[in-house]
Amino acid sequence: MESNIYKNEKINVGERKRKRDPEMTTGIIFVIPLMIFVIVFTFFPAIYSFVISMFHYDPFFHNIYFVGLSNYLQVIRDPAFIKSLVNVLIYTAVVVTIQTFLAFGYALLFNTASRISRIARAIVFIPAVVSPVSMSIIFIWVFSNTGLVNYLLSFFGIPPHNWLFSTVYAFPAIMAMNIFTTAPYFMIVYSAGLQSIPQEVMDAAKIDGLKSGLKRFRYVYFPLMRFSTILVVILGLTGAMQLFDQIYVITDGGPARSTYVPLMYIYNRTFVYVGDIGLAAAASFVLFIIILILTITQRRVITERRW
């Protein structure tokens, strides 16, 4: 069939196979730009990062020499790095759990075809399109001495508190802010999932007597939303591990390193305590491995368990 399509070329099937297929040439030409960008700006830096991590690397004074794995040993023994890792793991556990439930709740709430739901959903989604830096600036006010949170608490007679300057409350405040802004983003993933549930399934559930909301949630939505949940958890997890913008803008890792996170450590190692980028690269690689392990295990846990 194919041989008749390019009738201008006037060649038979046997010859065409040997000649270059125009589809093949076009395909290769079409992917080349992408592959160049992917190789040069993603794969190369990934490998380069590993190479740099094996060196004492000070590009400004050209003081570069091979040190093997000693950067890694130094990094994992560094209390600041350990602290940052513990912080980000706590942050991830709290934020991913709450935002996943919240995202699903929002999606259920807005799962009607009415205009009100549509507009409300669009409004709730706004923080997800605004830059994290803008949101951080607004939330500096929200959690400040004279901000919204203290205003709301004053109705209950709770005295104002400087949330972001407290070693106890600064990190939870940032968690709250990020739950507030990322839950709407993942809501859309669940919304799309909910819309793809066939009406027959819901009818069958009704006939089977699954009338209460809780039962419907347990036996209908939950199993059917498994794929969406995998996505939301994995994306949330990798996103949470890369927390940086908000911390940099709001607290800069302080007070007393209570909001220190790995990317903050990596940034400081490169740009604040200038001298050895190799350490920063080693720390990035450790973070990368942790994200990778978490993603893979998460995937396995969620897909293999029978609900």
Partner 1 sequence: MLRSEYRRRKSINVGENSKTYLIYVVSILLAIVYLVPFYWTVVKAFRDSIFANFPPNMNLFSQTSVAYFLANLKTVWGFGDFPLWYFNSVFISICVVAGSVFVGMLSGYAFARLKFPGRDYMFYAVLATLMIPFPVISIASYVFMLDLNWLSTYQGLILPQIASALDVFIMRQYFLTIPEEVELAAKIDGMKPWQIFFRVSAPMAKPAIAAATIFSFIGSWNNFLWPLMEVHSLNMFTLPLVLNFFKGANGTQIYWNQMMTVNILTMIPTIVIFVVFEKYFIRGISMNYTR
Instruction: Identify residues 222-251 at the interface with partner 1 (CB under 8 A).
Output: 228, 231, 238, 241-242, 244-245, 248-249
Contacts of partner 1 in 194-213 (CB under 8 A): 195-196, 199, 202
Record the tokens describing residue 249, joined without a space: 């803008």
The answer to whether residue 275 forms part of the interface with partner 1 (CB under 8 A) is no
Output the smallest distance, CB 59 to partner 1, in A.
6
The answer to whether residue 292 forms part of the interface with partner 1 (CB under 8 A) is yes
The answer to whether residue 137 forms part of the interface with partner 1 (CB under 8 A) is yes
Among 112, 167, 297, 303, binds partner 1 (CB under 8 A): 112
Report the C-alpha gap between 241 and 93 in whole angstroms: 10
Report the C-alpha gap between 165 and 169 in whole angstroms: 8
Is the CB of residue 171 less than 8 Å from the CB of residue 253?
Answer: no
Task: Give the residue carrying structure tokens 């794969």.
Answer: 43
Contact segment (CB under 8 A) with partner 1 among 66-74, 90-98, 145-153, 168-176 equals 145-153
Contact segment (CB under 8 A) with partner 1 among 66-74, 85-93, 284-292, 299-307 equals 284-292
Contacts of partner 1 in 40-69 (CB under 8 A): 41-46, 48-49, 52, 57, 59
Q: Extract long-range pairs of 260-264: CB within 8 Å, 24+ residues apart.
A: 260/80, 260/83, 260/84, 260/87, 261/84, 261/87, 261/88, 261/91, 262/81, 262/84, 262/85, 262/88, 262/286, 262/287, 263/287, 264/84
Report the C-alpha gap between 140 and 136 in whole angstroms: 6
Contact segment (CB under 8 A) with partner 1 among 10-18, 72-80, 81-89, 259-267 equals 259-267
Report the C-alpha gap between 186 and 125 in whole angstroms: 10
Total residues at interface with partner 1 (CB under 8 A): 105
Output the smallest distance, CB 146 to partner 1, in A.
4
Report the C-alpha gap between 194 and 223 in whole angstroms: 12
The answer to whether residue 293 forms part of the interface with partner 1 (CB under 8 A) is no
Q: Which is nearer to partner 1, 116 or 168 (CB)?
A: 116
Contact segment (CB under 8 A) with partner 1 among 78-86, 92-100, 218-226, 260-268 equals 260-268
Among 106, 171, 221, 260, binds partner 1 (CB under 8 A): 106
Is the CB of residue 271 less than 8 Å from the CB of residue 279?
Answer: no
The answer to whether residue 280 forms part of the interface with partner 1 (CB under 8 A) is yes
Is the CB of residue 226 less than 8 Å from the CB of residue 307?
Answer: yes
Question: Which ranges of 39-130 does DSSP label H, i.e. alpha helix?
Answer: 44-53, 70-77, 79-109, 115-129
Report the C-alpha gap between 35 and 141 in whole angstroms: 44
Output the smallest distance, CB 278 to partner 1, in A.
10
Among 15, 23, 153, 223, binds partner 1 (CB under 8 A): 23
